[in-house]
Amino acid sequence: MIVMMNLLFMNPSAHHFAGVSLAYRPFLDPIDAHSWWLFLSLPLVFGIAVAYKAIRLPTLTHYWRQVFKMTTQVMAALILMCVALYVLVEVAVPYM
């Protein structure tokens, strides 16, 4: 019983194991994003662009355009690096 309680309250993945879902408490509990955490990179990059462009732009005339441009560029670079690493590890290295 103690082992089961420990699993329930200490290990988030144990909730699925036991078929029990505890209520999410904001700021106290982590979200269950283990299967889709990669998609959290998009709001991260957008937030960085919002703050960085507000500091660095000489004028704020085209602020939002610059924010979306930076977000797109960084996300495109991330995706390209993912593809390049996938090709290197899965395709190129096995033939070396």
Partner 1 sequence: MANEERYHHDAEPRLNPVATVLAWLVPGLGHWILGYRRRAKYIAAGILGLYLAGLLIGGVNIINRTDGFWWYCGQVCVGPETIVINYWREHHLPPDDPKDQTNYTYARPSYAKVNEVGTLYATLAGLLNLIAILDVLYKAPCAEGVGRRTPSRRREDSA
Q: Which of 20, 42, 60, 83 binds partner 1 (CB under 8 A)?
A: 60
Question: What is the DSSP annotation of 14-40?
Answer: HHHHHT--PPP-TTTS----TTTGGGG
Residues 61-90 that bind partner 1 (CB under 8 A): 61, 63
Stretch that binds partner 1, among 43-51, 68-76, 78-86, 88-96 (CB under 8 A): 43-51
Torsion over CA of 78, 81, 83 and 87, rounded to 10 degrees?
-160
Encoded amino acid at 80, one letter? L
Q: Tell me the H-state helices in 1-96.
A: 2-10, 13-18, 41-56, 63-86
Q: Which of 16, 18, 42, 47 binds partner 1 (CB under 8 A)?
A: 47
Nearer to partner 1, 43 or 77 (CB): 43
Q: Which residues bind partner 1 (CB under 8 A)?
A: 2, 5-6, 9-13, 25-34, 37, 40, 43-44, 47-55, 58-61, 63
